């Protein structure tokens, strides 16, 4: 270290002062009172404070991301939901540079194994954690990740970032996407950039709105897409770029939260809603069977712009008139809007059948009034962006 004349004098003074205190008879180099005061002040300055890192908790539910493969090259031969999130987070390098990370092991199973009642508890857990954390990452399997994400999107009360992630390859194989996805999900949650966006799905360096995203391939790491509309943004190392706003993010703070406050209902109150798939000359059996099984609502995944066969259509009309079953019409094509309405039928807009089922299930859990439910589909279920007046 090179000392400037000023710092040399100050250092000498401090050393001399210490020597004088120990040996009063020893004289030291005389120095002005101004230098003395400055030197003493420098010695007593508090250390500069380091900004606290954002607090992010990872809530783990299992899935491929926590999978253990037979060996390092078994990309499809593995047991999902094996590793513990605490150990996975410990293995992540440089996490202390982006967030103060904690973990909670909610479960360790495939995404399709969870019941709606368990998702009810997961949503409440997310809100509980967000009372003290700046963001939450939920890890799940990818099979039904889009449905879990949309359930959280519609029920979590806090506007703080909620990021759902997973992987297409288990943690223990070469070239796994698991570590990068977990790290980037934590980074995105810590950034705060998706506050008021609702739940956001992040995989493959891209993040998508829960309402719009869907799984498009059984094996590829770029499986999640938002058909036609595109992703919200992406992550390139330290760069987090948001290029699109979803409808939720543009709502005012007082209108942002949905009506679906799970604390107001029991987990056993979640309505039974099914999906009937349309195809050439489809019979009435699916709709009839669902009604007999106690379904309060049915989503039709229709051909083209949402069409169903005559047999399905007749069964739908009967179910509404005689049992009060409410229907939502969607298209099986993978993208595009649906505008089909009628007695007991609500247009699903651009929601796919899986997402429409989640919204209809929650709607029927809080109301049996057709017009009220239709209103919720036209507001909280709508993907249309409305720019606030300026």
Catalytic residues: 64
Q: What angle do CA 187, 192, 196 make, to 5 degrees?
A: 130
Contact predicate 152/197, CB 8 Å: no
What residues contact 225, with CB distance under 8 A and at least 6 apart?
208, 213, 214, 216, 231
The answer to whether residues 167 and 184 touch, using CB atoms and an 8 Å cutoff, is no
Query: Cα angle at 273 between 267 and 275, to 5 degrees?
Result: 145
Q: Nearest-5° angle of CA 71, CA 76, CA 82?
A: 65
Q: SS3 string of the chain?
A: CCCCHHHHHHHHHHHHHHHHHHCCCCCCCCCCHHHHHHHHHHHHCCCCCCCCCCEEEEEECCCHHHCEECCCCCCCCEECCCCCHHHHHHCCCCHHHCCEEEEEECCCCCHHHCCHHHHHHHHHHHHHHCCCCCEEEEECCCCCHHHHHHHHHHHCCCCCCEEEECCCCCCCCCCCCHHHHHHHHHHHHHHCCCCCCCEEEEECCEEEECCCCEECCCCCCCCEECCCCCCCEEEECCEEEECCCCCHHHCCHHHHCCCCCHHHCCHHHCCCEEEEECCCCCCCHHHHHHHHCCCCEEEEEEECCCECCHHHHHHHHHHHHHHCCEEEEEECCCCCCECCCECCEEECECCCHHHHHHHHHHHHHHCCCHHHHHHHHHHCCCCCCCCCCC
């Amino acid at each position: 270290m090179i000392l400037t004349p000023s710092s040399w004098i100050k250092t000498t003074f401090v050393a001399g002062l210490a020597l004088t205190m120990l040996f009063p008879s020893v004289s030291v180099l005389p120095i002005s009172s101004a230098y003395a005061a400055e030197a003493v002040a420098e010695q007593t300055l508090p250390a500069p404070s380091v900004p606290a890192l954002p607090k992010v908790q990872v809530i783990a539910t299992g899935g491929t991301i926590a999978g253990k493969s037979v060996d390092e090259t078994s990309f499809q031969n593995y047991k999902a939901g094996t590793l513990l999130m605490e150990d996975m987070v410990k293995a992540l390098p440089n996490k202390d540079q982006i967030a103060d990370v904690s973990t909670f092991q909610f479960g360790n199973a495939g995404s399709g194994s969870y019941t709606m009642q368990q998702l009810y508890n997961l949503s409440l857990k997310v809100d509980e954690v967000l009372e003290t954390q700046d963001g939450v990452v939920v890890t799940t399997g990818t099979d039904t990740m889009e449905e879990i994400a949309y359930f959280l999107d519609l029920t979590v009360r806090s506007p703080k970032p909620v990021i759902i992630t997973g992987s297409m390859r288990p943690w223990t194989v070469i070239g796994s996407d698991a570590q990068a996805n977990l790290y980037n999900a934590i980074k995105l949650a810590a950034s705060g950039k998706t506050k008021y966006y609702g739940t956001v799905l992040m995989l493959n360096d891209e993040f998508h709105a829960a309402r719009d995203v869907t799984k498009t391939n059984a094996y590829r790491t770029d499986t999640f897409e938002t058909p036609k509309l595109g992703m919200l943004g992406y992550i390139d190392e330290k760069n987090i770029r948001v290029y699109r706003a979803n409808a939720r993010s543009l709502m005012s703070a007082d209108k942002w939260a949905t009506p679906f406050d799970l604390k107001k209902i029991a987990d056993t109150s979640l309505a039974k809603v099914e999906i009937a798939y349309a195809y050439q000359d489809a019979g009435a059996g699916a709709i009839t069977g669902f009604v007999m099984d106690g379904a309060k609502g049915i989503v039709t995944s229709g051909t083209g712009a949402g069409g169903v066969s005559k047999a399905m259509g007749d069964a739908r009309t009967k179910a509404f008139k005689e049992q009060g079953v409410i229907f939502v019409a969607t298209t099986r094509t993978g993208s595009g809007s649906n505008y089909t309405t009628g007695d007991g039928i609500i247009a699903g807009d651009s929601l796919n059948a899986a997402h429409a089922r989640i919204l209809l299930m929650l709607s029927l859990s809080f109301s049996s009034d057709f017009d009220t439910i239709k209103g919720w589909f036209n507001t909280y279920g709508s993907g249309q962006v409305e720019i606030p007046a300026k």
